[in-house]
Structure 1
């Protein structure tokens, strides 16, 4: 079964519109974990426009105290501040993304061939017996890119599914994007790497993704599940995504 990690950035961004403590990031984490999500994901950025540094500490304390079976995944660009935060908080998984701090959201994967030496040094620093490292991966990385990702020592790649998610009104293009994703996924499995996926996955496009790319270890979903939560409530939205994933 593919595990669901709920990205809480959109919850934090809504809270940050006002100088108020709600919606509560830890409160929403409790809801999604109680409904069966395998873990939570956050992407703290330097400007704290959504997840704040204190949220990271609060979530770590919550998971340690109440949900020791749940996984904590922290995404981010490997600046020195980010690396120090990971070493301090010690999440179960760290997902490295090549974002500029000013980006609104992640929109491309790593250049594994060009950044291999840099990524290798970061992976060696962060990877432990209890913490895996995942690298954000373009859908068309192919065998050469995956081989370079594997050489860094990372445990997994996370398929960037944004181009597929953007095909909500174009089924022909969606099918083509799935074929590209499937090829990179096959390369990852051949290389012995774990496989995550995320970005703009929804209740509408997740079934076709799952059929085209079986064996994904984890999907990280934030914007879509938060949008659905406005209609169904967070608990029901989580249950619906887990049902699609085979839970």
Structure 2
């Protein structure tokens, strides 16, 4: 199984939003990423629209449908009624649900599946009933009990929150410990029939070890590190670099 790369466009959109101007063009950068072999695009439309705007969603949906029909659109966010309505209007291939407070700068923890199980069951059923794959943000803490509670929601996949792993870029020993915790969580999820995604603070440097430990990793969605590299290497070459880090032949 080859790990697929979904390019998160939030950081590109945040840069655009610094001025009342249409550049950098989010859809154009998405097109470059897909031409370079990215398997899909990810966005996280927050209520304040501080990066991705609601008006970006139909544009990106049309880009994929018209030019890259093999690619996938992944929309992530906290499942308010407004968010769910956006998803139903846009019809992404995948919806990733995160437990964020709207005021958070970025996602920084997974769901408490036991506490929110009934709530998530209803949301997951609603989205799957519309033909969307569902992934739930999950802490990579090695807890099989949490994985079992996630399974009970009816989700298709979990997305491992890799922030703690990405944060120990200068501590190899701690990185090994974090990657093993992620791996144990993935092992439990796979044993219970869940697919595995991952995301947050992943880089060209730390991706290969993650993919090696979790060879069944289906997809990584990467925005901040990828956008930072794109300032140096350009979007197309950066996508190729990340694809190689995922183990893809480029």
TM-score category (smaller protein):
over 0.9
- Distance in 2 (CA, whole Å) between partners of 1:145 and 1:159 is 12
- Distance in 1 (CA, whole Å) between partners of 2:220 and 2:244 is 13
| 2:38 equivalent in structure 1 | 37
Tell me the SS of whatever aligns to 1:238.
Answer: helix
Unaligned runs of 5+ residues in structure 2 are: none
Q: Which segment is superposed worse, 124-133 or 187-196?
A: 124-133
| 2:8 equivalent in structure 1 | 7
- The answer to whether residue 121 in structure 2 is matched with residue 120 in structure 1 is yes
CA-CA distance at 1:205 after TM superposition: 0.8
Tell me the SS of whatever aligns to 2:55.
Answer: helix
Q: Deviations over 1:178-225 (max 9, x none)?
A: 111011000010000000000000011111111122110000000010
- Distance in 1 (CA, whole Å) between partners of 2:132 and 2:107 is 22
Q: Deviations over 1:147-171 (max 9, x none)?
A: 1111111000000000000000001
Unaligned runs of 5+ residues in structure 1 are: none
Q: Deviations over 1:82-125 (max 9, x none)?
A: 01111111100000000000000000000001100000010011
Query: TM-score, normalized by length of structure 1?
Result: 0.98
Tell me the SS of whatever aligns to 1:127.
Answer: helix
**8 Å contact from structure 2 (residues 41, 73) kept in 1:** yes
- The answer to whether residue 188 in structure 2 is matched with residue 187 in structure 1 is yes
- Distance in 1 (CA, whole Å) between partners of 2:206 and 2:85 is 37
Tell me the SS of whatever aligns to 1:157.
Answer: strand
**8 Å contact from structure 2 (residues 159, 197) kept in 1:** yes
Q: Deviations over 1:52-108 (max 9, x none)?
A: 000111101111111111100000000000011111111000000000000000000
Tell me the SS of whatever aligns to 1:72.
Answer: strand
> CA-atom RMSD, angstroms?
0.9
- Distance in 1 (CA, whole Å) between partners of 2:107 and 2:130 is 27
Tell me the SS of whatever aligns to 1:13.
Answer: helix
How many equivalent pairs are there? 247
| 1:17 equivalent in structure 2 | 18
CA-CA distance at 1:128 after TM superposition: 3.6
| 1:246 equivalent in structure 2 | 247
- Distance in 2 (CA, whole Å) between partners of 1:141 and 1:61 is 39
- Distance in 2 (CA, whole Å) between partners of 1:119 and 1:52 is 25
